[in-house]
Structures are given as structure tokens and as C-alpha cells.
Structure 1
């Protein structure tokens, strides 16, 4: 069985851990727990022609005081770049992190997860910015860790893209 490493990366408090927990354990909690360093979760996915083990590396969020430890990116087959739709600053951080991913991992597929679509009426990210991001990403999903909307689909799509590149 193939194993594929996916790095979950984004600003602090955008929902990276909540998205992983929703995907792996099918649960959501409103309680916020800061990730320190990295937390690794596993999920088995049935993909044709063979099943794949996804190793989800949930990296601590980036803020003005914290830089991403680039050693966590080594060996990544793909990345989930997570943005909080209610926080436009998280989009600016995502642009910086995309460059970091490319510089350290080369041309791996990067899927953009626009999280908190259950609060889309509170979003402050315009469609023009979303369109610009779509041009730079392998796939873009409006998702919600809270409701589960498009979470499985985003991970499934990234897994398919990674296998196509093998």
C-alpha cells in the first residue's frame, strides 16, 4: 500500500486541526486547541487501482511570532493550504506559505481549502481573490469543518491528483 504525506498548512486558528479531525474521526468541537509543532494522523482511502494511506501532517499555524519549521515539509506529496474565509489576513499568510511550499517541496499539488463556509455571509474574501487563488491551486474547495461540507471531497481530490502524478 502506498503512503502519501499531506501537509496541512495555514495561518493560526484557520481550522487545520478541525478539518483533520472531521476527515479522520468525523467529529467537530468548538474548543480551540493550539497545535504546537506537528500532529500526525492517518487515514486509509480506497482509490483505484489500490488503497492509499494518507499521512496528514497538521502543522502549527503561522503568525507574526511563529515561522513554519520547513523540515516538516520534507517528503510531502501534497499540501492543503487552509484559509479562514472570515479573516482576509489568513489569505495573505496563505500566499506566503504557498511560496514556502514550492521552495521546499517543488511542484507538488496544493489544494486550497476555504474553511468556514458555514459562515459565508461573514466572509470578507472577494470572488476576485478566490479566482486568483484558483489559478495557483490544483483544486479549491469551500468547506466547513463544522458541518463537514466538502471536507471529504477536498482530501479525496488531493489524493487522486497525487496518485496521477506518480
Structure 2
């Protein structure tokens, strides 16, 4: 899980792994690791989810956290357009470290008034990005995003 500070990475993992959502904000310090076993087709897959601290103007995600990853989820906050720019910068660095592994951009907080326009999303789609609208609060798009990433990682391995 990669993205700017306070975009909902931890809430998305909690929704996916534990089917819960909390309005209480908790800053991730370092990394929080969760695991979930799912079925993709007829194959059992064990996902090890690294919820990394959010980036801001003072700290960037260290490349050693990225090495060895089979894929990743980028998260941006649809109510804060600047987080989309942070996600694009992270994606560029992640690709330099990991190469061409599967990733999905989750535009989170879709249950709130939206400030990211279709033009920005269209540019990412034109670049071949997989973009999903999600809400950790309602669960919209969460299961599907993780499942699609798992499917893509299996295809690439």
C-alpha cells in the first residue's frame, strides 16, 4: 500500500482484511503488515500486505520497503487532488526499484464530495493505468481491487 499521508491506506487494509472501518484516524509509523488468504480461480493465494507510512513533504517511502514486491496498490484521496500527484511520483520511483510489476491506483473516499476530475483520470487510463474508485467506509471497490491485483500478480509470475 503506497500513497500520500492520510489517503486511507490503513482503512482500506482494515476493510479488506477485517471487514471493519473506523472514523478514528491512526497514523502509520513505519510499516504495518497484514495477511489474507484468498482464492484466485482455483488457486489459493496468500497475500502479505505491507501498509507503509504515508508520504508528505518531509518524508518519502524508502526503496528497501519496495524490493521484492510482486505488486502494489497506490492510493490517492479523491477529496485532495494533490495526493494524485504524490501517487504518480511514487509510481515512478516504485517502477525504478521494482521494474514492471502490476499495480492498481485506488482513488479512495468515493463516498465524499469528489475533487479529482475525469480529465485527470482519463490521462492515467490513457497511460495504461488500472484505476479503481474505492471507499474504505462503504467498502466500494475494495475487495475487487485487491482481487484484481492478486490475479495480475499470478499472471505475471
Query: TM over 0.5, yes or no?
Result: yes
**What is the rounded CA distance, in whole Å, between the counterparts of 2:87 and 2:151 in structure 1?**
23
Select the residue among 9, 15, 22 that pairs with 1:22. 15
Q: Are 1:105 and 2:98 counterparts? A: yes
Select the residue among 120, 130, 140 that pairs with 1:149. 140
1:125 corresponds to: 116
1:109·1:137 contact (CA, 8 Å) conserved in 2?
no
**What is the rounded CA distance, in whole Å, between the counterparts of 2:129 and 2:37 in structure 1?**
22
C-alpha deviations, 1:45-97, integer Å up to 9, x for none?
11124200001000000000111111110111001000000001101101110
Aligned counterparts, 1:72-111, within 5 A = 72-111=65-104
Question: Would the alpha carbon gap of residues 56 and 99 (structure 1) be closer, same or farther in structure 2, given more than 3 Å must change?
Answer: same
1:164 corresponds to: 155
2:37 corresponds to: 44
Which structure 1 segments of 5+ residues have no match? Answer: 1-7
Which structure 2 segments of 5+ residues have no match? Answer: none
1:4 corresponds to: none
Secondary structure at 2:72 match in 1: strand
CA-atom RMSD, angstroms?
1.0
- Alignment length (residue pairs): 157
**What is the rounded CA distance, in whole Å, between the counterparts of 2:37 and 2:144 in structure 1?**
14
1:40·1:56 contact (CA, 8 Å) conserved in 2?
yes
TM-score (structure 1 length as normaliser): 0.92
Select the residue among 39, 50, 56 that pairs with 1:63. 56
1:139 corresponds to: 130
TM-score (structure 2 length as normaliser): 0.97
